[in-house]
Amino acid sequence: MAKEKIQFEVNGKQVSLEVDPDELLIDVLRDHLGLKGTKAGCRAGECGACSVILNDRVVTSCLIPALKADGGKITTVEGLEKDGELDPLQKAFVEKGAIQCGFCTPGMLLSAKNLLDQNPQPSVEEIKVAISGVLCRCTGYQKIIHAIHAASKTIPGNEV
C-alpha cells in the first residue's frame, strides 16, 4: 500500500507525516508522534480510553483512520496544560480524588474538556452523558462527575 501524506494540527502544532491508508489515528498519535497519553483499551470504540478531540468532537481514535484527520485539529491529553499550567479540569481531577488507576483519565478529561468548551455550565446529567462513552472500572464515576462540576465553576462567569 502506498503511503499518503497528511497534515493536521495536534495540541497547537502543525504536523505533516506519511501514513498507510489503513493506519488508525491512535497508532499515529502513539507511535509516530509519541503521544502515549492516548490509551488503547479495547480497539473497538467501546472503552473510550483512546478518546481525543478532533475538530470540536470527541472521537475514539481507535476507530478513526488517520487519513480522516487530514487538515483537522486534534487535542490529546498532552495538549490540556498550557505553558506548564494544568487545565482547571486536570486540577479538579487531582483535588477531588477523581483518579485511581489513571488509564481512563485522558479519555475522561478530553470528554469533559469538550463538554465545557461547548456548555460551560453543564448539569450533572449533562456531565454523565458527556462522559458515558468512557468506561472507568475503578472510581464508580462519582468523583469524576464532581471534579468536572467543580472545574466548571472555575470558568469565568460561572463562579457561584
Partner 1 sequence: MMEKEKRKKKVLVKEKVLEMPPVMEELSTVGKSAVRVDAYAKVRGKLQYGGDMDYPGALHGKVLRSPHAHALIKKIDTEKAKTLPGVVAVLTAKDIPGRNGFGAIIPDQPVLCGNKVRYIGDGIAMAAAISEDIAIQALDLIDVEYELLPAVFSPIEAMKPEAPKIHEKGNLITTSKIRKGDTEKGFKEADIVLEKTYTVPILEHAYIEPDVVIAIPHADGTITVKGPMQAPFTVRRNIAPVLGIPINKVQCIQTPLGGGFGGKEDSPIDIGARAAVLAWKTGRPVRMEYDREEITLSTCKRHPMIIACKIGAKKDGTFVAIEGTIYNEQGAYASLGPVIPPAGGVHAHAVVMLPGPYVIPNVKVDGYLVHTNHPYGGAMRGFGAPQVNFVHESIIDELAGLLKMDPYQIRLKNCFELGSETATGQVLDQSVGLKDTMEKARSEFHWNKKWKQAPHPKEVEKADKRRGVGMAVGWYRTSIGTFGDGCGVNLHLQEDGSVLIFQGLTEMGQGSYTALSQIAAEALGVTLEDVRIVTPDTDVAPESGPTVGSRSTTLMGNAILIASEPIKKSLIESASELLAIPTERLALKNRRIYDRDDPNRFVDLKEAARRCMATGRRMMGQGWYAPPRPSLNLETGQGSPYFVYTYSTQMAEVEVDVKTGAVDVLNLVATFDIGKAINPIMVEGQIEGGVIMGLGYALMEEVVMKDGMIQNLNLQDYIIPTALDTPEIKPIYMEYLNVHGPFGAKGIGEMPNIPAAPAITNAIANAVGARIYDLPAHSERVYMAIKKRLAEGN
- Chain residues in the site for partner 1 (CB under 8 A): 30, 35-47, 49, 76-78, 80-81, 86, 90, 93-97, 99-106, 109, 127-129, 131-145
The least distance separating partner 1 from the CB of residue 37, rounded to whole angstroms, comes to 2
The least distance separating partner 1 from the CB of residue 92, rounded to whole angstroms, comes to 10
Supply the DSSP symbol for 69: G
**How many residues appear in the chain?**
160
The least distance separating partner 1 from the CB of residue 151, rounded to whole angstroms, comes to 12
**13 vs 157 by CB, closer to partner 1:** 13
* Cα–Cα distance for residue pair 6/16, rounded to 1 Å: 6
The least distance separating partner 1 from the CB of residue 118, rounded to whole angstroms, comes to 17
**70 vs 91 by CB, closer to partner 1:** 91
**43 vs 70 by CB, closer to partner 1:** 43
- Check: CB of residue 8 under 8 Å from CB of residue 54: no
**42 vs 155 by CB, closer to partner 1:** 42
The per-residue DSSP string of 3-68 comes to -EEEEEEETTEEEEEEE-TT-BHHHIIIIIT--TTS--S-SSSSS-TTEEEETTEEEETTTSBGGG
